[in-house]
Amino acid sequence: MSWSKLKQQLESFLCPALQGKVEYRATGYRYLPDKAGLCYISVDKKNVLHMSDKTTSIKWYQTEQEIKSDPDIRIPISDEEIEAVRKETKGIVPEDRLRVIARNRKISEYAKELLLAQAALSKSNFSGVATKFLSISIEESMESNDILLNILALVDRRVGKKRILNMAEKMKGKHPIVQYFYELRLRTL
């Protein structure tokens, strides 16, 4: 599907309050086949998500340390996760340390997920995800771990006020750019 057709279809699904406010932009290099196209999602003519930006990649360890030091990030630990650590350590670790070990493992997983989510994307990646978004249900897009699918679903007109308000708790564990679009959508209700 051509970029202009894809852009037209995506913008036709924007909720009325965001039409003209959220735009999908792309650049292509016809005479430079080895140079990937860039893609942007802009809000009020400001590029909010710049895909294929080499500066967005961050190191996994640095992300892990940022998560550990941020007091606002709450990482829920289930009894099953604590029990898994207990089995691996054969019960020789004190009870209070089990929770710390389980939490650190979960933080490492979140850091890896954030790193994957912030990996450089190009116009072709965006086109693939956008085409997928147009062919799957809105529920699948909302439940996906793909940040682009989440963003496209959040600005979609098929997601109503009640559903937006009910997903406040779920948004706390999402990528910051997804949270940004969630807040943007909340302001338009």
Instruction: Give per-residue pLDDT as tens, 142-181.
Output: 998 888 899 999 999 999 999 999 999 888 888 788 889 9
Check if the beta carbon of residue 106 is closer than 8 Å to that of residue 84.
no
Portion of the chain with pLDDT greater than 90, in percent: 34
Check if the beta carbon of residue 154 is closer than 8 Å to that of residue 48.
no
Distance of alpha carbon 58 from alpha carbon 62, whole angstroms: 7
Distance of alpha carbon 159 from alpha carbon 140, whole angstroms: 12
Q: Give φ, ψ of 48 to 5 degrees.
A: -95, -40
Residue type, 126: F
Portion of the chain with pLDDT greater than 70, in percent: 81
Residues contacting residue 68 through CB under 8 Å, at least 6 positions apart: 104, 107
Instruction: Give per-residue pLDDT as tens, 27-42.
Output: 766 655 555 567 788 9
Name the strand (E) or helix (H) holding 11: helix 3-12
Domain boundaries, given as residue ranges, for the chain:
3-56+119-187, 60-117
- In this structure, of 55-64, 79-88, 122-131, 175-184, the range with the lowest mean pLDDT score is 55-64
In the structure encoding, which two tokens stand for residue 163, read together? 């559903």
Angle (CA) 42 46 52, round 5°? 60
Taking the model in full, what pTM does it have?
Answer: 0.65
Residue type, 1: M
pLDDT of residue 120: 45
